[in-house]
Amino acid sequence: MTTTTTGLRAVPAVGTAHTRVEGRDKVTGAARYAAEIPFTELAHGWLVLSTVTRGRISSVEDAPVLAMPGVLAVLHHGNAPRVDTDYVGMLGMPPDPTIAVFQHDRVPHAGWPVALVVAETSEQAREAAEALVVHYEEEAHDVTFAKEHPDAYSIPGPGGPAVTEKGDLEAELAASPVTVDAVYTTPEEHHNSMEPHAATALWDGGRLEVVDSNQGTIWVAAELASLFSLDPASVHVRSEHVGGGFGSKGVRAHQVAAVMAATVLSRPVRVVMTRRQMFSLAGYRSPTTQRVRLGADAEGRLRALEHSCLSLTSTVHEFIESGAGVARVMYDAPAHHTANRVVRLDVPSPTFMRAPGEAPGSFALESALDELAEKLGIDPIELRTRNEPAVGPVSGLPFSTRNLPACFEEGARRFGWADRDPRPGLRREGRWLIGTGTAAASFFVGAMPSTAAATAEADGTFTVRINAADIGTGARTALTLIAADALEVPTDRVRVRIGDSDFGPAMIAGGSMGTRSWAWAVTAAAGELRERLALSDTIPPEGITVRSDTTAAVGALAQKERHSFGAQFAEVAVDVSTGEVRVRRMLGVFAAGRIINPLTARGQFTGGMIWGISMALHEEAVRDRNTGALYGADLAGYHVASNADVPLVEADWVDDTDPDDPVGIKGIGEIGIVGAAAAIANAVWHATGVRHRDLPIRPDRVITAGPHV
């Protein structure tokens, strides 16, 4: 038995910079990711994807492949274990049928998983998978996402209803002295986490063990249990280090295929997606076509706002990219209409991708605001200030906090906005035209019920177990600081363990809600543990453990408009003779709740802003109309920003502690990308006088648009 003490810390850990608790492991290569945990008798599975876009599998010629060296099994719809998809998953949605691999002969999109080849080595599995002949009855496909589609329809999105309407739009537009009516498009975009999706599955003493790379082990465990009709307690999923997720690392074909193969072969099987396979199996952000109509009085007050967004989904799963949702938060008008619609095509299922809805939606809306400011001759920041709503434009609910004006004020001061000449096309440095632009940002704030356990160990240290996922956000470090403060001990006495479904239910790393949700549970458990320790001066050898469950507390949150806000600023240089666009500097100032760890938070914000650069200038998956498959589906064909594309990007924040959160957190994972592409596009207009309403702003588009100044 050991005595312990808390209450030794004078200075709180939260709010000061701390390097990552797993940092040393990451810089030395010691941190093991999902495909890097060794298993004896490991077999390697390689997915075989359809080469047709729509049709039926008429035969899988597995016999010759089974005779190849090292090949152990070929799983396909004719022999794979059956799974059950008739359930509602953790996120309140039925599963994407894409994950129910090898259950039938239908092919609904190019790159649909049709078989898994398992072999002793990855080289053998790869060659056998490439050699597997699959015959298809091919059918005509439709993959064309046009500006209008006769089959488009409205469905509610993850964040709200399909359509909101108030006021007489046409009447208010007609009565507005200044109007904007423009169509904006964003392309198909892919998450492309640096670590490909990878899972190893094995049966161990009647328990299904899965080592995976995901954004929530409890999520994956629960869905695997549902799919394979298993007792949830008999499924154990671990995912300690995750090489990026951005929304793509949920339940995917590779985990299901690995479990099937491990079941059939009774040995560990690892399935890793290739980079090319990720382009059809890992989800993506739908392309969008958005129309924004704005009407304003001469002083810039909005009288009419319409934002409609069309996205696509697959024929087998309904997912909508709710681009029009952002208008429901940002601006009010007497006539205010928003609508999200979707069309079903013969394409893979899209999914959540960093700032789903807000990222493409803010590009359209914040570009349109800039166009309105230009027409009115009003400064873009002043225009936004004049349209600050008192309450939620659609809900009528109060905002928990809304410190957007403070972000613009601080951002404008630091960026030097006051010196800006609003006229476009005036500034030249050598071959470059220079311009600056701004845009507003917002992202939904929420918390989800979570559980945590805090243990006072006999050696005087503390262990916190929470089923969090650190996909690069710094959550594990943030939770360490939060636990240390709640326990009133130095951070080096606290060890936070994450990424293990045995730790119990908790929010996934998603929706910018992870750290807030987990911190709530950790604070509750640690706070109670501290109180327990105050009453006892000894700790038994097994330690003292306190568990928390925030279900009741989170459920008791009052209905409010809860969002983070931000102001984005960009300076660009454009060579209209070559079409090159370079971002020269960026600044984002955010009101995003209490900042736990400034060191890692800055990286979260700037990382999101760099996604904005990438979205504005580079990213675009091109679907080939004739074959129905992507063109150039790899990292040479699909460009994400390289180091040379990224200038000094700065992020800072204003005080915005959330009054309704025990730690004051809002969430910072997504807001960095919101508005960033619009700020860049607005800066390109300021540089050149040309509006670019189609992303990405590629050189050919700049050249074709020509110099309008």
Partner 1 sequence: MKEFGYQRALDVSGALALLDADPDARFLGGGTNLVDLMKTGVERPGRLVDVRELPLDRIEPTEDGGLRIGATVTNSDLAAHPDVRRRYPALTQAVLAGASGQLRNMATVGGNLLQRTRCGYFADVTKPCNKRDPGSGCPAIEGEHHNHAILGASDHCVATHPSDLGVALTAFGAVVTYETADGPGELPLTDFYLPVGDTPHLETALPPGALITGVVLPPAPVAANSRYRKVRERASYAFAIGSIAAALDVRDGVVHEVRLAFGAVASRPWRAHAAEAALTGGPADAEAFAAAADAELAAARPLPHNGYKVTLMRNLVVAVLSELAEEAAR
Partner 2 sequence: MATAPPSTYSAVTLNINGEKHTLTVDHRTTLLDALRERLDMTGTKKGCDQGQCGACTVLLDKRRAVACLQLAVAAEGREITTIEGVAEGDQLHAVQQAFLDLDGYQCGYCTPGQICSAVAVIEEHAAGWPSAVTDDVRPEAGPPPLTPDEIRERMSGNLCRCGAYVSIVQAVARAAEADAAARADRAEQGTEHEGAAA
Do the Cβ atoms of 658 and 593 come closer than 8 Å?
Answer: yes
Q: Does 583 bind partner 2 (CB under 8 A)?
A: no
Neighbouring-strand partners of residue 441: 566
Cβ neighbours, 10 Å, residue 580? 15
Cβ neighbours, 10 Å, residue 171? 14
Neighbouring-strand partners of residue 117: 46, 74
Q: Could you tell me how far CA 32 lies from the centroid of its own chain?
A: 23
Piece of the chain touching partner 1 by CB under 8 A; list 100-108, 119-127, 175-183, 265-273: 119-127
Query: Residue 635 to residues 187, 194, 197, 617: CA-CA distances in angstroms?
Result: 16, 10, 15, 15
Residue 580 interacts with which of partner 1, partner 2, none, CB < 5 to 8 Å by class: partner 1
Match 């394409």 to its residue by tokens. 347
- The per-residue DSSP string of 366-391 comes to HHHHHHHHHHHT--HHHHHHHT--SB
Q: Does 584 bind partner 1 (CB under 8 A)?
A: no
Q: Does 542 bind partner 1 (CB under 8 A)?
A: no
Pick from 631, 648, 655, 708 the residue near partner 1 by CB under 8 A. 631
Q: Does 473 bind partner 2 (CB under 8 A)?
A: yes
Among candidates 360, 312, 288, which has minimal Cα distance to 143?
312
| # chain residues binding partner 2, by CB under 8 A | 64
Question: Please, which residue, 512 or 604, has the CB nearer to partner 2?
Answer: 604
| # chain residues binding partner 1, by CB under 8 A | 36
Query: Residue 207 to residues 43, 81, 231, 262, 269: CA-CA distances in angstroms?
Result: 19, 17, 10, 12, 15
Question: Please, which residue, 304 or 630, has the CB nearer to partner 1?
Answer: 630
Question: Please, which residue, 20 or 516, has the CB nearer to partner 2?
Answer: 20
Among candidates 294, 310, 441, 440, which has minimal Cα distance to 371?
294
Pick from 247, 323, 361, 603 the residue near partner 2 by CB under 8 A. 603
Q: Does 622 bind partner 1 (CB under 8 A)?
A: yes
Piece of the chain touching partner 2 by CB under 8 A; list 128-136, 221-229, 334-342, 639-647: 639-647
Does the active-site annotation cover 542?
no
- The per-residue DSSP string of 672-698 comes to TTTTHHHHHHHHHHHHHS----BSS--
Piece of the chain touching partner 2 by CB under 8 A; list 138-146, 214-222, 299-307, 598-606: 598-606
Do the Cβ atoms of 307 and 184 come closer than 8 Å?
Answer: no
Residue 622 beta carbon to partner 1: minimum distance, rounded to whole angstroms? 5
Q: Does 582 bind partner 1 (CB under 8 A)?
A: yes
Question: Please, which residue, 119 or 173, has the CB nearer to partner 2?
Answer: 119
Piece of the chain touching partner 2 by CB under 8 A; list 122-130, 258-266, 400-408, 430-438: 122-130
Q: Does 61 bind partner 1 (CB under 8 A)?
A: no
Do the Cβ atoms of 179 and 348 come closer than 8 Å?
Answer: no
Residue 284 beta carbon to partner 1: minimum distance, rounded to whole angstroms? 17
With both helix axes pointing from N to C terminus, report the angle between 358-376 and 676-688 in degrees, rounded to the nearest 10. Answer: 30
**Residue 365 parent element (H or E):** helix 358-376
Give the footprint of partner 2 on this chain (CB under 8 A): 19-20, 22-24, 26-33, 35-36, 38, 121-124, 126-127, 191-196, 241-244, 246, 272, 274-275, 471-474, 599-600, 602-604, 606-611, 614, 634-636, 640-644, 646, 648-650
Looking at the annotation, which residues are catalytic? 670
Give the footprint of partner 1 on this chain (CB under 8 A): 51, 123, 126-127, 130, 431, 577-580, 582, 617-618, 622, 624-627, 629, 631-634, 636-637, 639, 641-645, 698-700, 703-704
